[in-house]
Amino acid sequence: MLDTATGLQLKQSLELIDLKLKKLLTVLILRSNKTITLVCAVRTHGQIGVPTTYGLRFAIWASEIGRHIERLNEIKARVAVGQMTGAVGTQASLGTKGIEVQESMMSILGLSHVDVSNQVISRDRYAEYFMFLANVATTLDKIGIEIRTLQRTEIGEVEEAFGKHQVGSSTMPHKRNPIKSEQVCGLARVIRATVEPALLNNTLWDERDLTNSSCERVIFPEASILTDHILLVMINVLEGLCIREDRIRENLNFLHGINMAESVMIELTKKGMDRQEAHEIVRISSMEALAGKCALAEVLGNHQKVRELLTPVEIGELLNPDNYIGTAVRQVERVIEKLGPLTQVK
């Protein structure tokens, strides 16, 4: 019966998490929509590369949260479960109608019922709950890491909202620390750490032992409350997030345009230049732009062979990051269309 009580708690917990996931999804879709054409630099291996959009960045997170909502729906019936099988599973003291009594009882409680069980409900079910929370927490960890990265002084593209009562350092009043995102990352470690104990709790001896009990008293509230908490923190962070378009543009041009150089090479080839030659010209011009800290567009514009095939305006267009984002806008629109309905929280 104790496990049935746990089933009721888990049902409620999943409802609360579901609500927060949908709220987070709502914020991400709003953000994604607002920045659908906000072009920014990609970073792979920490190195600035070709352009993408903030809209796509938010949509990727929205999509991941969408999957978590999907997962939650699937595990609900396995996790929020009760039993009425007597002391050891045989229903020996429940008379001949035990099976029916159990089914109708659990239906009244709004829980699934076990098909069979011994004294306790098998912990593969609860392990699934903890693993779900750990997966959610790790997504938030990743978002937290990205916000902390984008808020680095040298990058400076986003900023956590600065609370009314928060004060910067007295001598460095400008300083904005991403402390909420840091908190999320730290607590995600704790949530993930409950997975292994939760799995081990499934290795009970015989028809049951009590090793799960002391352990679950710690990990159930801990993982549940902390996941709820960091979801809330992350909703706040993303709602309040200040996006600095000036710095985004600066970073996009940090490499003087060479991250868009490929398009020039392709166009030169289209216009008849030998592929090998086009590649070499662009490569050398890129090195020159970097070394001289001047725009690649300018270097290319001064190159005799390039000038024969492309006008300065054409070069400008080819190196314009805004023309370099493929189907990003349409992809994001489709994500919003697909996941939007999930956000209609009553």
Catalytic residues: 45, 169
Amino acid (one-letter) located at 2: L
User: Which residues 46-65 are close enough to bind a second copy by CB under 8 A?
Assistant: 46-53, 56-57, 59-60, 63-64
Out of 2, 5, 16, 92, the only residue in the binding site for a second copy (CB under 8 A) is 92
On whether the CB atoms of residues 228 and 20 are closer than 8 A, the answer is yes
Out of 8, 19, 30, 67, the only residue in the binding site for a second copy (CB under 8 A) is 67
CB of 323 to a second copy, least distance (A): 9
CB of 167 to a second copy, least distance (A): 11
Q: 181, 180, 218: which is closest to 197 by C-alpha?
A: 218
Q: Is 278 in the site for a second copy (CB under 8 A)?
A: no
β-pair type (112-113, 242-243): unpaired
Q: Which CB, 208 or 346, lies closer to a second copy?
A: 208
Name every residue whose Cβ is closer than 8 Å to that of residue 32 and which is 6 or more positions away in sequence.
Answer: 55, 56, 58, 59, 62, 332, 335, 336
Q: Which CB, 112 or 346, lies closer to a second copy?
A: 112
Length of the chain: 346
Q: Is 199 in the site for a second copy (CB under 8 A)?
A: yes
CA–CA gap between residue 146 and residue 149 (Å, rounded): 5
Q: Which CB, 94 or 346, lies closer to a second copy?
A: 94
Q: Is 240 in the site for a second copy (CB under 8 A)?
A: no
Out of 5, 16, 167, 210, the only residue in the binding site for a second copy (CB under 8 A) is 210
CA–CA gap between residue 34 and residue 55 (Å, rounded): 7
CA angle 290/295/301 to nearest 5° reads: 115
User: Which residues 246-275 are close enough to bind a second copy by CB under 8 A?
Assistant: 251, 254-255, 258-259, 261-262, 265
CB of 189 to a second copy, least distance (A): 4
Reduced to 3 states (helix: H, G, I; strand: E, B; else coil), residue 43 is strand
CA–CA gap between residue 232 and residue 228 (Å, rounded): 6
Q: Which segment (5-13, 218-226, 234-242, 309-317) binds a second copy by CB under 8 A?
A: 218-226
Binding mask 303-342 for a second copy (x = CB under 8 A): ---------------------xxxxx-xxx-xx--x----
Out of 90, 104, 166, 302, the only residue in the binding site for a second copy (CB under 8 A) is 90
Out of 19, 30, 105, 190, the only residue in the binding site for a second copy (CB under 8 A) is 190
Q: Is 234 in the site for a second copy (CB under 8 A)?
A: no
Question: How many C-beta neighbours within 10 Å does residue 273 have?
Answer: 19
Q: Is 197 in the site for a second copy (CB under 8 A)?
A: yes
Q: Is 107 in the site for a second copy (CB under 8 A)?
A: no
User: Which residues 159-188 are close enough to bind a second copy by CB under 8 A?
Assistant: 170-179, 182-183, 185-187
Binding mask 6-45 for a second copy (x = CB under 8 A): ------------------------------------xxxx
Q: 151, 146, 138: which is closest to 230 by C-alpha?
A: 138
CA–CA gap between residue 71 and residue 334 (Å, rounded): 21
Which string of b and e fits 90-125 if b means at least 16 CB within 10 Å? ebeeeeeebeeebeeebeebebbbbeebbbbbbbeb
Q: Which two tokens stand for residue 46?
A: 């920490």
Angle at which helix 179-192 crosses helix 211-240, to 10 degrees, equals 160
How many amino acids of this chain bind a second copy (CB under 8 A)?
Answer: 133
Q: Which CB, 276 or 346, lies closer to a second copy?
A: 276
Q: Which segment (8-16, 21-29, 110-118, 295-303) binds a second copy by CB under 8 A?
A: 110-118
